[in-house]
Structure 1
Amino acid sequence: MMVHSLQKDTDKAEVEMREYAHTADQDKADFALEGRREDDENSPEAILERYPLLRDMTPAELDKLNRRVRRRIDIWMLPMITFMLFINYLDRSNVTNARIAGMQKDLHMTDVQWSAGISLFYVGYMLTQLPGSLLLSKYKPRIILPLTMIAWSIPTICLPLATNAAGFMVCRFLVGFAEGPFYPGIALLTSSWYVKEELPFRMAIWQGAITLSAVFGGPFAASILETMGGIANLPSWKWFLLIEGAISIFVGVASYWFLPNWTNNTPWLTLEETEMAQYRIVKSAGGIDEMQGDYTLFQGAKLAAKDPFTWLFAALHFFLIVGQAYKEFLPSILHTFGESKLTTYLLQSPCYFLGYLATLGVGWSSGRFKEFTYHTAVPLVLSIVGVAMMISTENIGVRYTGICFLIMGTASGLNMQVSWETTVIPSPRHKKAAVIAIANICKSIPVAFQIVDRTDHPSMYTVSSTSHWFSPYFFLRNQEPLYRLAGGLLLVGCGASILSVLAVRWRVNRLNKVLDSQNDVENEQRRERGQADKSQAWRFPI
C-alpha cells in the first residue's frame, strides 16, 4: 500500500514538474495577452501571442504559412536525411559484402578476428550515441550531421590500406565511433520540426531507407564486386569500400545546404517562417517549448535516466531488434527453398519492399488517427502470424508469405516506437535527445557481442551486417528447413515487444488521469471565480 502511494506521489510530482517548467517558461516570454494570459495561457490564441509576426494574421493566412513551412521542410530536409540514412546503412553493411569478395582472406583474418572487428564497430557506436546526441541538441545540426557523415567515411576509405586484423579492427571501431550520434540525431531533428500528427509518417519515410537499403544495396554491391576486380591491380572489395566512402563524403558535404538547424535559427527560413516553425511545434505540445528552462546537457541526461518512459521505450526497442534477428540469416532461410543463389538473392527484395510500404502505410494511419498503441502492436501480431507460417509447414508459398509478414510487422513497429517516444517526451530537447540515444544504446548492446555465423551459407550481399550475439545459436543447420528454434526466438521478441507497448500505454493512461484530475480541480476553481474552463495544455499521446 505504501509503495503504491509513493508511486502515485511520484507520478503526480512528475506532472507537477512539467506544469511548473511550463509556467516558468511562460513567465519568461515577452508578450502581452491583454488579460487573456491570466485566464488561459495555454489556449491556441495565447500561444499565438508569443509570436509578433503571426498574431495579427487571419486563420487563412496562418494556414497558408503553416503549409509553406511544412512544404519547405518536406522538400529540403526530409529527402536529404532519408538519403543520408540510406548511405549510412549501405556503409554499415559494406564489410559483410567485402567479406564475400575475399576481404577476410586477403587480410589473413580468422573468423574470431573478423567477429571481433564487427563487435568493435558497435563498441564505438555505443560510446558516442549519448554524448553525440546531447551535443547535437545544443549546437547546429546542419554542421554536426554533415561532419558526422564525413567522419565515418574517412576510416571507410582508409580500410583498403589495412594489411592485417589490427588495421581492420581499428578502422571498424572508428567508423562506429563516428556513426554513433547519427541515427539518434536525425530522429531528434525530425521530432523538432514536425507536429505529432505529421511525425509518424515523416519518420516512416526516412526509416524506410533502412529497408530500401536491403532492396537496392545488394545490386549496388554486386555491380562493383563482380566487375571491378583487378582494375589498377586492386581487388574488387577495395574498390567497393573506396567508392562507398567517396559517395558518403560527397553526400555529407552536399547535405550542409539542405539541412536545417532548429526552428529558431535556420538561415534559409524567413522571419515569418521561423516564427511559424516554432509556433507549430509549441502549439502541438500544448504550449510547451522544447527549449524551456535552462537545463544543461547533464541535467537533460539526468532527467531522461529518471523517467520510466526512457526504460520502457528502451525495452521496446530492444525486443523489436530481437524480433528482427532474422536479418543476418534471411539468405540462409530462403536458401532452404531449393532455388539457385541468384534466385535466393532476388527473393529478398520483394520482402523488404513490402516492409517499406507497410512502414509508410502504418505511419500515415497513425498520424491520421493520432494513435500509437494499436499501430505499434497490431503489426507485431502480423509478424507473429508470419513466424507461425514460417515454422509450421514446408510449403514454400506459405513460408515466403510468412517471411513477408514478419518483415512488414517488425519494420512498422520500429518506426512507431521511435515516433512515439519523441512525441511522449516533447521537452526539454536535451532530455529528448538522451531518451532517443539511451533506447538506441540498449538496442545495440546485444549486437556488440557478434560471433561467427554458424549457418555456413553465404550472405549473398545481404545488407544486414550484424546479428545478435545469441542469434547464431538459434539459426543452426540442423534446424533446416523450418528453423523452429529460431522461430521461437522471433516469437519471444515480437511477443515481448507487444507487452512493452502495453506497459507504455498503462503509464500513459496513468499520467493522463493525473492531468485530468488536476485540470478538473482547477476548472472548478475557475468557475467559482466566474472564469471559463482552462484548455487542457498537454496529454500524453496514447
Structure 2
Amino acid sequence: MEKDDSEAVHVESADHEKKESKFLAWTTEFASRDDDWHRQETRKLLWKIDIHLLPWIVLMYLTNFLDRNALSQAKLGTLEQDLGLKGTEFNTITSILFIGHDLRTPIHNEKLRWRTYLSVIPWGSIFLMSSWYRTEELTHRIGIFYAGVALANMFGGLIAAGVIGNLDNAHGLAAWRWLFIIEGCATVGIALIAIWFMPNYPNTTRWLSRQEQDYAQWRLAQDAAGEEDDRFAVSPLEAVKMALSDYRLYFFMLLNHLNLLAQSFTYFFPSIVESLGYSSTVTLFLTVPVWFATFLAVISISYHSSQTNERSIHIFCCMLIGAIGNIIVITTNNLGARMFAMYLIPIGTLPSFQMILAWITSSFSRPLVKRSVVVAMCGMFGNAASIYGSYLYPDSQGPRYVPAGVALACVCVACGGLALIIRFVLQRENKKLDRENGPDDGARYIL
C-alpha cells in the first residue's frame, strides 16, 4: 500500500513538472510575439470559441428556463383546478421545484466531461465559460448567455399562448399538460445532441490546432497575473477551505442571493401581468415584448459593462430601476403606468445578475478548483432565495401583490447598495496590492 502511494506521488510530481515545463515553453514563445500578432491570434481564437461554445450554452440555458417557467404559464390554464390546488399550494410546488434545483453536486469533477455534465445537469455553465475566456471578455459573453433567460420567457409566452389557446382537451389531455410535454421533449432532445457536440476544455478540443490550444491556455494563465492555470495543484477539500477563509466570498454570496430574490417575480410574471385585466391568452402574448425588451437590455448593458470594465455602478443603477418598477406596480391602478412598470422590473434585475456572475468569476481567478467552489457556493446560496421567494405572490394578495412589491423594492435597493459596498472593499484590496506588489504589477480587482 505504501509503495502504491509512493508511486502515485511520484507520478503526480512528474506530471506537475511536465506541466510547469510546458508552461515555461508557452511563456517563452508567446511572450516574444508582438502586439499585432496577439491581436490577430486573439481575434481568430475568440471567433472560434464563440461559434462553437456560446450557441450550445445559450440553447441549453434557454431550454432549462423554458421548462422552469412552464409552471407559471400553466397556472393561467386549468392546472390549479385540475389538481385541486388551494391557498398557497401552488407556491409550495414552486418552492419544491427550487429545493430540487439546489440539491445538486456543487463542485464539478474534473474527470467528468463538461458536455456530459451540462447535458444531464444544466448547471456550472459560468465556470465552464471562465475556463475559456479572460476576465475582460467574460462579462459581455455572460450577458449573451444569460440573455437565454429573457429569450426563454419570450418564446415561452408565445408557445404557452398557442398551446393553452388551442390544445385544451386535445387527445383527452389538458392544455397545461401538453405544455409540459412539448417543452420537455425539446429540452431532452437538445441535451442528447449536446452530449456529442458541446466542447469541454481548450486542451481537449479538436477544432483548435495544437498551437491554438496552447495559446488559449496561456492567455488564461496570463489573466491570473502569470500564475499557472493548474486544475490539479489544489485538492477539492483544500479549495473549500481556501474559499471559506476568503471573506469576500460572503459578500458575493449575499449579493447573488439578493439579486435572485429580487427575481422572484419571474415565476409569477404571467399572473402579475394578468392583473391588468386581460384574458389568459392575451396576457401570455403581452409578456413577449416585455421579455424582448429585457433581452435587448441584457445584451446592451453587459456590453457597456464589458467595455468600461466596471460592475458595481452598473449593478446599482439597474437594481434602482427594478426598485422603481416594483414601487409603481403597487402605488397606481393606471393601466399604462402598470404596464410600463412590468418592463422596468425585469430590465432592472436580469442584467444585474449576469454582471454579478462575471464579477464573481473575475474576483476569484485562481486556482480553478477554488473558483469552482466559490461559483457553486454563490449559486446554491443564491438559488435558495427562490425557495422562500416563491411565497411572495399568493393569490390572496392579487391583483396588486402589495407586500411582494414592497419587499422586492427593498431587496433591489439592498442589492444595489451592497454592490457599492463591495466596490469599496475591492478598492481597499487594490490599494493593498499596490503596496505589496507596486502600482505597475497589473493584478487588480475589477470594481
> In structure 1, the residue corresponding to 2:46 is in which secondary structure?
helix
What is the CA deviation profile of residues 211-236 of structure 1, one whole-angstrom value per residue up to 9, with x for unaligned ones?
A: 11111102212323443445544444
Separation in 1, partners of 2:421, 2:294: 26
Separation in 1, partners of 2:72, 2:341: 26
Separation in 1, partners of 2:286, 2:295: 15
Q: 1:243 to 1:349 in 2, by over 3 A?
A: closer
> Which residue in the other structure is 1:248 paired with?
187
Separation in 2, partners of 1:147, 1:499: 37
> Which residue in the other structure is 1:496 paired with?
414
Q: Percent same amino acid at aligned positions?
A: 26
Whether 1:539 and 2:444 are equivalent positions in the alignment is yes
Q: 1:390 to 1:234 in 2, by over 3 A?
A: closer
| Shift, 1:252, TM fit | 1.1
Which of 15, 18, 29 in structure 1 is aligned with 2:20? 29
**Residue identity in the other structure for 2:441:** Q
Is the CA contact 2:327–2:406 (under 8 Å) kept in the aligned structure 1?
A: no
> Which residue in the other structure is 1:305 paired with?
244
| Shift, 1:71, TM fit | 0.5
Separation in 1, partners of 2:119, 2:35: 38
Separation in 1, partners of 2:179, 2:264: 26
Separation in 2, partners of 1:487, 1:244: 30
Is the CA contact 1:475–1:485 (under 8 Å) kept in the aligned structure 2?
A: no
**Residue identity in the other structure for 1:78:** L
Is the CA contact 1:229–1:236 (under 8 Å) kept in the aligned structure 2?
A: yes
Whether 1:471 and 2:376 are equivalent positions in the alignment is no
Separation in 1, partners of 2:48, 2:217: 14
**Residue identity in the other structure for 1:536:** D
1:281-300 counterparts in 2 under 5 A? 281-291=220-230, 294-300=233-239
Q: 1:141 to 1:60 in 2, by over 3 A?
A: same
Number of residue pairs matched by the alignment: 432
> In structure 2, the residue corresponding to 1:50 is in which secondary structure?
helix
Q: 1:288 to 1:475 in 2, by over 3 A?
A: farther
Is the CA contact 1:51–1:275 (under 8 Å) kept in the aligned structure 2?
A: no
Q: 1:486 to 1:241 in 2, by over 3 A?
A: closer
> In structure 2, the residue corresponding to 1:279 is in which secondary structure?
helix
TM-score of the superposed pair, with normalisation by structure 1: 0.72
Q: 1:111 to 1:66 in 2, by over 3 A?
A: same
Whether 1:70 and 2:43 are equivalent positions in the alignment is no
Is the CA contact 2:313–2:420 (under 8 Å) kept in the aligned structure 1?
A: no
Whether 1:506 and 2:428 are equivalent positions in the alignment is no
Separation in 2, partners of 1:392, 1:227: 36
Q: 1:319 to 1:374 in 2, by over 3 A?
A: same
| Shift, 1:413, TM fit | 0.9
Whether 1:318 and 2:292 are equivalent positions in the alignment is no
TM-score of the superposed pair, with normalisation by structure 2: 0.87
> In structure 2, the residue corresponding to 1:510 is in which secondary structure?
helix
> In structure 2, the residue corresponding to 1:349 is in which secondary structure?
helix
Which of 95, 103, 107 in structure 2 is aligned with 1:127? 103
> Which residue in the other structure is 2:113 paired with?
140
**Residue identity in the other structure for 2:393:** P
| Shift, 1:110, TM fit | 6.0
| Shift, 1:100, TM fit | 4.7
Q: 1:329 to 1:501 in 2, by over 3 A?
A: same
> Which residue in the other structure is 2:163 paired with?
224
Q: 1:53 to 1:138 in 2, by over 3 A?
A: farther
* Unaligned stretches of 5+ residues in structure 1: 1-24, 32-46, 149-181, 450-467, 521-533
> Which residue in the other structure is 1:192 paired with?
131
Separation in 2, partners of 1:337, 1:124: 32
Whether 1:441 and 2:380 are equivalent positions in the alignment is yes
Which of 312, 317, 320 in structure 2 is aligned with 1:378? 317
Is the CA contact 2:328–2:338 (under 8 Å) kept in the aligned structure 1?
A: yes
RMSD (Å) for aligned C-alpha atoms: 2.9
The structure that has the greater radius of gyration is 1
What is the CA deviation profile of residues 437-469 of structure 1, one whole-angstrom value per residue up to 9, with x for unaligned ones?
A: 2112122224234xxxxxxxxxxxxxxxxxx14
1:40-189 counterparts in 2 under 5 A? 50-51=26-27, 54=30, 57-98=33-74, 100-103=76-79, 106=82, 115-130=91-106, 133-135=107-109, 137=110, 139-148=112-121, 182-183=122-123, 185-189=124-128
| Shift, 1:196, TM fit | 1.6
Separation in 2, partners of 1:344, 1:327: 14
Which of 276, 281, 291 in structure 2 is aligned with 1:337? 276
